[in-house]
A and B are shown apart, each in its own frame.
Chain A
Amino acid sequence: MRNQVTDALKGQNADYIEVRLEQGLATRIAYRGERLEEIGTTTSLGGNVRALIKGGWGFVSFNRLEKLRDNIELAIRQARLVGREESNFSHTEPVVDLVAAETKNDPATIPLATKKQLLDEYNDIILRTPKIQTSSVNYHNSQRKVTFANSDGTYIEQNKVDIGLRLTAVARDNNEVQQVGLSLGSNGDFSAIEGLQDQVKEAAQRAVSLLSAPQAKGGEYTVILDPVLAGVFTHEAFGHLSESDFIYENQQMQEMMVLGRRFGGKHLNIVDGAAVPGLRGSYKYDDEGVPATTTYLIREGVLEGRLHSRETAAKMGEMLTGNARAINYLFPPIVRMTNTFIKPDSVTLEDMLSDIKEGIYVKDWYGGTTSLEMFTFSAGEAYMIRDGALAELLRPVVLTGNVFVTLDNIDAVGNDLQMNEGGGCGKGEQVPLPVSNGSPHIRIQRCLIGGG
Chain B
Amino acid sequence: MDEILTRAKKVAEQAEVFQVSSRRTPVHFEANRLKQIETKESTSLALRIMKGGRIGFSAAAGSIEPDALLNHAVDTAQFGMPARFDFPNPKAYPHIETFDPETEKVTIDNMVTLGERLIATVRELAPDILCDTSVTKGTISIRIANSQGGEASYDKSFFSLSLEGILIRDGDMLFVGDSQSSCHPLLDFKTIADEVTWQLDLAKREAAVSTGTMPIIFTPRGVASALIAPLILAFNGKMALDGASPLKDAQGKQLFDRKFSLWDNPLLPYQPASRPCDDEGVPSQQNSLIDNGVVSQFLYDLQTAALANTQSTGSGNRHGGLPSPSPSSLIIDEGDVSLEEMIKNMKHGLVIDQLIGAEQGNLFSGAFSGNVLLGYKVDEGEVVGRVKDTMVSGNIYQILKQLEAVGQEARWIGSFLRTPCLLCSGLSVATKTG
Contact = CB atoms under 8 A, between A and B. Distances in A.
A73 B320 CA distance: 30
Interface string A112-150: 110010000000000000000110000000000000000
B126 interface: no
Contacts of A172: 243-244
B322 A256 contact: no
A367 B58 CA distance: 30
A37 B81 contact: yes
Contacts of B287: none
Nearest to A404: B171
Contacts of A30: 321
A250 B322 contact: no
Contacts of A62: 41-42
B148 interface: no
B31 A330 contact: no
B394 to A, nearest CB: 9
B125 interface: no
B30 to A, nearest CB: 6
B142 interface: no
Given A81-B108, A250-B130, A38 B243 contact: no
Interface in B146-169: 166, 168-169
A322 B225 CA distance: 34
B42 A82 contact: no
A86 to B, nearest CB: 13
Nearest to A25: B72
A400 B62 contact: no
A398 B365 contact: no
A113 B75 CA distance: 10
Given A81-B112, A451-B393, A36 B39 contact: no
Given A61-B41, A366-B361, A38 B321 contact: yes
B80 A398 contact: no
B40 interface: yes
Contacts of A218: 211, 391, 393, 428-430
A305 interface: no
B238 interface: yes
Given A60-B39, A373-B173, A402 B389 contact: yes
Interface stretch (B92-100, B188-196, B342-350, B369-377): B369-377
B228 interface: no
A374 B428 contact: no
A37 B369 CA distance: 30
B36 A59 contact: yes
Contacts of A256: 168, 171
Residue of A65, A75, A177, A401 contacting most chain B CB atoms (<10 Å): A177
Contacts of A396: 361-362
A170 B244 contact: yes
A39 B428 contact: no
B60 A39 contact: no
Given A58-B36, A450-B369, A42 B173 contact: no
A84 B34 contact: yes
B360 to A, nearest CB: 4
Nearest to B370: A376
Contacts of A35: 81, 307
Interface string A262-283: 0000000000000000000000
Interface string B206-244: 000001000000000000000000000000001000111
A177 B42 contact: no
Contacts of A63: 41-44, 61-63
A176 B397 CA distance: 11
Interface stretch (A43-51, A223-231, A356-364): A43-51
A142 to B, nearest CB: 12
B37 A177 contact: no
Residue of A79, A170, A175 contacting most chain B CB atoms (<10 Å): A175
Interface string A397-413: 11011101000000000
Interface in B29-57: 30-31, 33-44, 56-57
Given A82-B35, A179-B364, A374-B373, A43 B391 contact: no
B315 interface: no
9 contacts: A42-B59, A56-B37, A81-B112, A177-B365, A256-B168, A376-B369, A378-B360, A402-B389, A451-B391
Pairs of residues from A and B, 9 with the lowest C-beta to C-beta distance, nearest first: A376-B357, A450-B369, A218-B430, A249-B31, A45-B62, A40-B57, A63-B62, A252-B168, A398-B369
